[in-house]
Amino acid sequence: MTLLCTSVDDAVSGIADGSTVLVGGFGTTGMPFELIYALIRQGARDLTVVSNNAGNGDTGLAALLAAGRVRKIMCSFPRQTDSWVFDELYRGGKIELEVVPQGNLAERMRAAGAGIGGFYTRTGAGTLLAEGKETREIDGRTYVLESPIAADVALISAHTADTLGNLVYRKTARNFNPVMATAATTTVVQVRHVVEPGELDPEAVVTPGIYVDRIVRVPS
Amino acid sequence: MSAVSPSVVEHTGRGPLGRDEMAQVLARDIPRGAYVNLGIGQPTTVGDHLSPESGVIFHTENGMLGMGPAATGDAIDPDLINAGKFPVTELPGAAYFHHADSFAMMRGGHLDLCVLGAYQVSASGDLANWHTGEPDAIPAVGGAMDLAVGAKQVFVLMSLFTRKGEPKLVSACTYPLTALRCVNRIYTDVAVFEITGGDQVLVRETWGISFDELRTRLDVPLAAATP
C-alpha cells in the first residue's frame, strides 16, 4: 500500500538511528534534496548512507554529512572539486568510507531488491577493492563474489508518480533511483507531479508502485 | 604481393601533440558506428572530434545512449548531465536507462570501446587510474573498474611522461590497479602504442621524438607496429 504524504516531514517519519539509507542521485541530478533536509530535521543519526557521491557543495547529502548524522558512507566517487564537507570529515577520521565501483554499487542493490544472495563479477578482480573477497575462475577469467546491499530506507526522486506509486523519471535524473527503490524496506519518493491512476502510460512506467511506500509532492 | 613490413611513422620535425591533437588522433581510430564511452576529464574531449556522420553513439554511465555535445545557454537542463556532471544534450534516437542497466550493458560486453585516462599502464595492459595510493589521498573509483573489464576495447589517453619526466608506460604499475590486462591502445602526446599481450609493446606513430629515442626513455620492450 502506497501512502501519499502531505509533507516531506511526514514522509521521513520513523527513520531510526543506525539505519542504512539509500540516497538517489548522481551528483545533484536526481537527488531528493527536500527529503534529505527533512531527514536532517527528523534527527536520525549514526546512519550508513549509500549514494554514488559523498555530497556536493553544502547542499543535499553534504548538508546531512555536515550535520554529523552519518557514520559511514558507501559510494563510488567521494572525491570531487566540491566535496569539501566529506573531505574534511574523512581526513579528520569522523566518517567511515567504503569505496564501491559504480557498477557494483548498482548491482549490489539490484541483487538485494531481487532476492539474489550475491553475484560474481570481473569488476575489481586483482585490485585493492577485491582484497579478502572470494574469487572464482569462470571460463578462464577471475570473478569476484559481491554481496547484496539491502537498506532500511531509500530516499529517491522521480518526475511523476500516480497515487499507486508508479513512477516515471526524466532524462538522466533516473540514475540510481529505480534500483534503490527495490532495495529498501521502506522507499520514500519525492516527485514533481502526482497524478491519478490511469494517467501514466503503463508501458512507460519505470518503477512499478509495488516498490514504493511513501510519496510526497515537491514542486520544482 | 609482399607483406607490409613493420614501421613507425615518425613526426620528428615538430614537438609533441597538444591535448586537442591527442584527442583528434584517437578520434580518427574510432570505428564508424561504434558504441563508445568517454571517461571524465580529457577523454571527454574526444567527442569534439567526431562528426555526426561517424555514426558513433555515446554512452554515459549515468544512464544514457545517444548523448550529444555539451549544452549551453537555454539548452542546459539540470536533469541531463554526463558522467563528469556537466550539462549535455540529447540526440535523436537517444535512450535513457537506470544505473544497473547502464553497467549491465557495460559489463556484458556490449560497448565497443571506452576511452580512459591513466596514472600508469603496464606493458601487459594493466591499468592504474583511480588511486595514487598516497596516505592522505581520498580514493574514488567511479565506473573505471567496470568500464575497464567490460568494454570490448580500452583506449587510454594520457601524457607519456609525468611532470617530473617519469614514464607512465611501465614494466609493472606501482600505483593501485584498476584492472589487469585490459588496455588495448595508448594514445599519448609523443606516441601511439598497441598492447598485444606479447612481450613487446608496438609503436605506431611518434611526434617530436624518434622511435630510437623513445626506446631509450622507456623501460619497456618496444617494436614497430605493422601499419
What confidence tens digit (pLDDT) does each residue in A9-22 have? Answer: 999 999 999 999 99
- Cβ neighbours of A106 in B, within 8 Å: 98-100, 102-103
CB-CB under 8 Å, A101 with B63: no
Distances from the Cα of B59 to the Cαs of A10, A66, A121, A141, B64, in angstroms?
Answer: 38, 34, 21, 26, 6
Q: In whole angstroms, give the CA distance from residue B28 to residue B42.
A: 16
Query: Does the structure show a pLDDT above 80 at B3?
Result: no
What is the predicted pLDDT for the residue at A1?
A: 83
CB B117 within 8 A of CB A195: no
Between CA A35 and CA B36, with CA A203 as vertex, the angle to 5 degrees is 75
Q: What is the mean pLDDT of chain B?
A: 95
CA gap A114, A108 in Å, rounded: 10
Per CB-CB distance under 8 Å, the chain A contacts of B85 are 26-29, 80
Q: Which CATH superfamily is domain B18-189 in?
A: Glutaconate Coenzyme A-transferase (3.40.1080.10)
Q: Are A174 and B81 in contact (CB under 8 A)?
A: no
Backbone angles phi, psi at B116, to 5 degrees: -130, 155
- DSSP codes, A148-165: ---EEEEEEEEEEEETT-
For the segment B101-110, the average pLDDT, to the nearest whole number, is 97
Q: B92 near B145, Cβ under 8 Å?
A: no
Alpha-carbon dihedral of residues A159, A162, A167, A171, nearest 10 degrees?
-30
Cβ contacts (< 8 Å) between B96 and chain A: which residues?
169, 171-172, 174
A105, three cell numbers: 554499487
Gap between the Cα atoms of A179 and B100, Å rounded:
7
Are B81 and A106 an interchain contact pair (Cβ–Cβ within 8 Å)? no
Rounded to the nearest angstrom, the minimum Cα separation between A88 and chain B is 11
Q: Catalytic residue among B61, B134, B166, B194, which?
A: B61
b/e sequence A110-147, b meaning 16+ C-beta within 10 Å: bbbbeeeeebbbbbbbbbebbeeeeeeeeeeebbbebe
Using a CB-CB distance cutoff of 8 angstroms, which residues of chain A are in contact with residue B145?
101, 103-104, 123-124, 127, 129
* pLDDT(A29) > 70: yes
A3-217 CATH, one of 3.90.1150.10, 3.30.980.10, 3.40.1080.10, 3.10.20.30: 3.40.1080.10
Q: HSE on the CB side for A157, CA within 13 Å?
A: 27
The pLDDT assigned to B113 comes to 98
Indicate the pairing of strand A214-217 with strand B153-157.
unpaired
Chain B interface disruption, residue of A50, A65, A102, most B CBs within 10 A: A102
Cβ atoms A22, A151 nearer than 8 A: yes
pLDDT band, very low/low/confident/very high, at B52 (cuts 50, 70, 90)? confident
- In tens, the pLDDT along A162-187 reads 999 999 999 999 999 999 999 999 99
The answer to whether residue B3 neighbours chain A at the CB level (below 8 Å) is: no
Residue from the list B64, B140, B149 with its beta carbon closest to the beta carbon of A123: B149
d(CA A128, CA B140): 12
Please list every residue in chain A whose beta carbon sits closer than 8 Å to the beta carbon of residue B91: none
Residue found under cell 514522509:
A11
Q: What percent of chain A has pLDDT over 90?
A: 97
Task: Give the pLDDT of residue B2.
Answer: 56
> In the predicted model, what is the mean pLDDT of chain A?
97
CB A220 within 8 A of CB A186: no
Q: What residue spans of A92-141 are helical by DSSP H?
A: 102-114
Distance from CA of A177 to the nearest CA of B (A): 7
Per the annotation, the verdict on B61 as an active-site residue is: yes
Residue ranges of domains in chain A: 3-217
Nearest to B143 among A29, A103, A179 (CB): A103
Number of A:B CB contacts under 8 A? 138
Q: Is A82 exposed, middle or buried (0-12, 13-18, 19+ CB in 10 A)?
A: middle
Residue of A nearest to B62 (CA): A175
Among B61, B90, B177, select the one facing A102 at the smallest CB separation: B61
Q: Structural domain boundaries of chain B?
A: 18-189
In sequence order, the 6+-apart residues with CB closer than 8 A to the CB of B187 are B22, B25, B26, B155, B156, B157, B158
